[in-house]
DNA sequence: AAAAAGTAGTTTCATTTGCAACTATATGCG
DNA sequence: CGCATATAGTTGCAAATGAAACTACTTTTT
């Protein structure tokens, strides 16, 4: 390892002023919160039902929209086609999902929950909802509505800002 | 207007289907938002400075707290020791960081930004802050404070709820 | 109707990540 | 002191993820 007690070089000294206070930085906070929530809820799905989050999302969507194709579910679940393909594959193998041919397009498959798939959904749903309820336990209804609004607005802005970072990246080459 | 979360939903509509409406499910929304924000900002760091998010976090923290060890930074940056080790390694190799022996504990290394490390921090910081500013562009000061409060409360709750999911997992075996 | 272009979904391959084991040092305790 | 336990940080390996190529089919163009 490095010099035991070298002189402190001038250029290694820091001015505190130019730093950014990470714990207050919104992108960091969002990532951290989402990570914490994701981890605990993912644990729930996987331990109890051997489901990943993508799989769970697909099951949840098919619960209310049976017969959708992978292509249609993808955007709703924010999953790209590779994740879709893999998740569906696992679900089919686990007997939770059934593929049926679509006559209009032989590349696509209409997806349906099997009995076992419905079962999983039935059993997870109350847990997922209890988790969500607890997360919002000490929020008032007005606060929940406000949070909802904030998230919608941030979401829209984030999409919009992809453009901003894109532009900067162009400049950077 | 569409029903919000469990609480509100229960009032406004009897949830006839057994499915769960994903686009309104808070864990999903948080993950999606964090993902969108992360992706765009990560693009920014990596394209311009070849920095990953963990690396950026470490640089940001060392900017205001030079001389910290990996162990101390980890919790602040929400990074486990493996991520820390790898990120530090890359930063040192890129000449952004210097390790110095800690006399009190020969296992640990005190970390300092080099000239080049400071440089990176100086150049990213305004971009990161502009990104954050834009994200919050049409939020009033009061709304920002409220958002801040919401995030704090959700964060605390999420930590608390790890216990809840933990318990369920135990039951599930 | 044949050629070209586009799309649904899969597979391959390279990279990233996460866990467990490991090294080296430090601390606690009989 | 000397042995057991704990901790800082690293490494190796296996699984997850992402980008790009690929297959099979469909739509558009000429």
The percent of residues above 70 in pLDDT, for chain A, comes to 84
Q: Do B7 and A127 touch (CB under 8 A)?
A: no
Which alpha helices (H) appear in chain A, and where do they start and end? 26-49, 53-64, 70-77, 81-93, 115-135, 141-172
Higher pLDDT, A81 or A47: A81
Q: Is the pLDDT of residue B10 over 70?
A: no
Q: Which residues of B touch A1 (CB under 8 A)?
A: 99, 101, 109
Predicted local distance difference test score (pLDDT) of residue B102: 94
Q: Do A31 and B44 touch (CB under 8 A)?
A: no
- C1’ C25 / CA B30, Å: 42
The percent of residues above 70 in pLDDT, for chain B, comes to 84
Q: Is the pLDDT of residue A107 over 60?
A: yes
pLDDT in tens, A20-69: 899 999 999 999 999 999 988 988 888 889 999 999 999 999 999 999 99
Name the DSSP letter for residue A106. Answer: T
Grouping H, G, I as helix, E, B as strand and the rest as coil, residue B98 is strand
Q: Which of residues 89-148 of B touch A (CB under 8 A)?
A: 98-101, 103, 109, 112-115, 118, 121-122, 125, 127-129, 131-132, 134-139, 143, 146-147
Write out the DSSP string of B22-67: GGG-HHHHHHHHHHHHHHHHHHHHHHHH---HHHHHHHHHHHHSTT
β-pair type (B97-101, A97-101): unpaired
Q: Quick one: pLDDT band at residue B47, thresholds 50, 70, 90?
A: confident
H or E stretch at B101: strand B97-101
Q: What is this structure's pTM?
A: 0.87
Predicted local distance difference test score (pLDDT) of residue B50: 92
Give the mean model confidence (pLDDT) for residues A98-110.
96
Nearest partner of B62 among B78, B76, B51, judged by Cα: B76
Mutual angle of helices B141-172 and A26-49, in 10-degree steps: 20
Burial class (CB in 10 A: 0-12, 13-18, 19+), B92: middle
């Amino acid at each position: 390892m490095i010099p035991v007690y070298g002189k402190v070089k001038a250029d290694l000294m820091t001015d505190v002023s130019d730093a950014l206070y990470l714990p207050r930085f919104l992108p960091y906070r969002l990532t951290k919160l989402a990570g914490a929530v994701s981890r605990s809820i993912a644990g729930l799905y996987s331990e109890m039902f051997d489901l990943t989050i993508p799989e769970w999302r697909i099951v949840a969507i098919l619960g209310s929209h049976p017969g959708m194709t992978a292509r249609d579910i993808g955007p709703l679940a924010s999953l790209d086609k590779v994740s879709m393909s893999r998740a569906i594959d696992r679900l089919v193998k686990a007997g939770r999902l059934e593929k049926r041919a679509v006559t209009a397009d032989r590349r696509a498959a209409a997806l349906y929950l099997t009995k076992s798939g419905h079962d999983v959904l039935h059993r997870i749903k109350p847990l997922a909802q209890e988790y969500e309820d607890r997360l919002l336990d000490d929020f008032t209804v007005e606060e929940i509505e406000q949070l909802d609004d904030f998230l919608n607005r941030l979401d829209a802005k984030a999409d919009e800002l992809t453009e901003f970072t894109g532009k900067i990246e162009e400049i950077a080459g």
